[in-house]
Structure 1
Amino acid sequence: MAIVKALHTTFGVFGNITGLFLFLAPVITFKRVIKKRSTEEFSGIPYVMTLLNCLLSTWYGLPLVSPNNTLVSIINGTGAGLEAIYVLIFLIFAPKREKAKISGLLALVLSIFSAVALVSLLALHAHARKIFCGFAAAIFSIIMYGSPLSIMMMVIRTKSVEFMPFFLSLFVFLCGTSWFVYGLLGKDPFIAVPNGVGSMLGMVQLMLYAIYRGNKGEGKKANNSVEMGNGNKVNGQDGTA
């Protein structure tokens, strides 16, 4: 038991480290936004949705909901803070129409989180509370990990990894794998399942990178950088990675 507990903590710490790299990935994009004082064609939707994922996961990791998952709350609480900053910057520099859309979505996201938190506190107890919050957190974790699917399809279509940064794909894989093992060791399906999906998607990205790594410059050029939570428009579609 002592070994399992030590491994559980170790993978949780590693998950925090790799997760931090994922949440810091948009910094490059927002440095550009601030420098140009414009959000250009970037979409704010992925940042708001990732904020919801972080808020729900932070809530799930709290001792009053899910014992022994404090490390989950630490990284997702950090992620929520970073995503909130990204959303704030986006709202400052976004065009009026986009600003209204993202403001409305943000209000919806905060309402969803508040509803989940209040229902879990006032109407549910013990195991029922954990199941309710766990399902909510798992659903939005899968959505977050699934955000690079459009970029993966573009890589296959263009046979170029120009828009899929290697280190981002690597940390998606490492982060997902770390939390997947953490969830398995802690016998927590609400952590293991969504992060198992993330680990699998990260592995597919790395495989695509290995196949098309020699074609970085052959795809259609684009001015926008791509990272987890970035919804810049590529070929007329919203692409994330």
Structure 2
Amino acid sequence: MVNTDSIRTLIGIIGNVISFCLFMSPLPTFIKIWKAKSVQDFKPDPYVVTILNCAMWSFYGMPFISESNTLVVTINGFGFFLEIVYTSIFFIYSTANKRKKISLALLAEVVFLLLVIFIVMYFIDNQKHRNLIVGFICIIFNILMYFSPLTVMRQVIRTKSVKYMPFLLSLANFLNGLVWTTYALLKWDPFIAVPNGLGAISGLAQLILYGIYYRSTKWDEELPSNINMV
């Protein structure tokens, strides 16, 4: 008989693969930036925010914070370093003003992260309390990340077009949320289950919108000036 831990490990590995694909999805954007030697109208916000999100989840997955979450550490550790690469490329090809904003944002994240680690490790000895504090912080960041496509979804409804909401990315977001929710339910972890459950709902909403507005989409239209693809 296959035990629950083995099934959970398998689900976690699948989650790592899907999350890996999501982390790699901005690659075409950075190829464009590299070829143009300019960030054009692209924004660094998603990549800068994801650095802190991955760092917090990597911290959460450590054995002195939560139990049996090595697979959470592996994928978020990978995401952390990849997002640093993305942000570095963005920094290199940005204007002086954008570089200043990126630097200030990264500095604020480093200070916040070090402050959380210091407080949790120095003042809190109980693992359960550590798990509670870091878990709540991770929930907040993960929810913000999963619901960042809301602006695109609003644009889809307004324009009745899904041209700039890629189907595969929406599907990957849905599957990612679903897989990690399953992972959390197999060994109850509300801090992983809650944000990823909401992420699955967000991904499902995108897929429903895709189904509703696919036929009304004019695929030869140019990208509106107020849309920023990431």
Distance 1:157 1:120, change over 3 A: same
The equivalent residue for 2:135 is 134
3-state SS of paired residue (1:236): coil
- For residues 124 and 2 of structure 2, what CA distance do their matches in structure 1 show? 32
Deviation at 1:220, TM superposition (A): 5.0
Per-residue CA deviation, residues 110-135 of structure 1 (Å, 9 max, x unaligned), is 11111111111111121111111111
The equivalent residue for 1:33 is 33
Pick one of 223, 226, 230 that aligns with 1:236.
226
- For residues 219 and 159 of structure 2, what CA distance do their matches in structure 1 show? 8
Q: Is the 8 A contact 1:8 1:182 kept in 2?
A: yes
The equivalent residue for 2:16 is 16
Matched residue type, 1:236: N
Q: Is the 8 A contact 1:180 1:195 kept in 2?
A: yes
Matched residue type, 1:81: F
Q: Does 1:213 align with 2:214?
A: yes
The equivalent residue for 1:79 is 79
Deviation at 1:202, TM superposition (A): 0.4
Structural mapping, 1:83-98, within 5 Å: 83-98=83-98
The equivalent residue for 2:99 is 99
3-state SS of paired residue (1:40): coil
3-state SS of paired residue (1:214): coil
- For residues 115 and 7 of structure 1, what CA distance do their matches in structure 2 show? 36
- For residues 46 and 221 of structure 2, what CA distance do their matches in structure 1 show? 23
Matched residue type, 1:130: N
3-state SS of paired residue (1:121): helix
- For residues 30 and 153 of structure 1, what CA distance do their matches in structure 2 show? 25
The equivalent residue for 1:194 is 195
Q: Is the 8 A contact 2:42 2:229 kept in 1?
A: no
Deviation at 1:79, TM superposition (A): 0.5
TM-score where L is the length of structure 2 = 0.95
Report the more deviating stretch, 2-11 or 46-55.
Answer: 2-11
- For residues 219 and 114 of structure 1, what CA distance do their matches in structure 2 show? 48
Q: Which runs of 5+ in 1 are unaligned?
A: 223-233
Structural mapping, 1:93-172, within 5 Å: 93-125=93-125, 126-172=127-173
Q: Is the 8 A contact 1:161 1:216 kept in 2?
A: yes
Matched residue type, 1:50: T
Q: Is the 8 A contact 1:162 1:215 kept in 2?
A: no
Deviation at 1:9, TM superposition (A): 1.2
Deviation at 1:151, TM superposition (A): 0.3
TM-score where L is the length of structure 1 = 0.90
The equivalent residue for 2:186 is 185
Deviation at 1:236, TM superposition (A): 3.3
- For residues 34 and 138 of structure 1, what CA distance do their matches in structure 2 show? 34
Distance 1:128 1:163, change over 3 A: same
After TM superposition, what 4+ stretches of structure 1 lie above 4 angstroms from structure 2?
Answer: none
Q: Which runs of 5+ in 2 are unaligned?
A: none
Q: What is the alpha-carbon root mean square deviation over aligned residues? A: 1.7
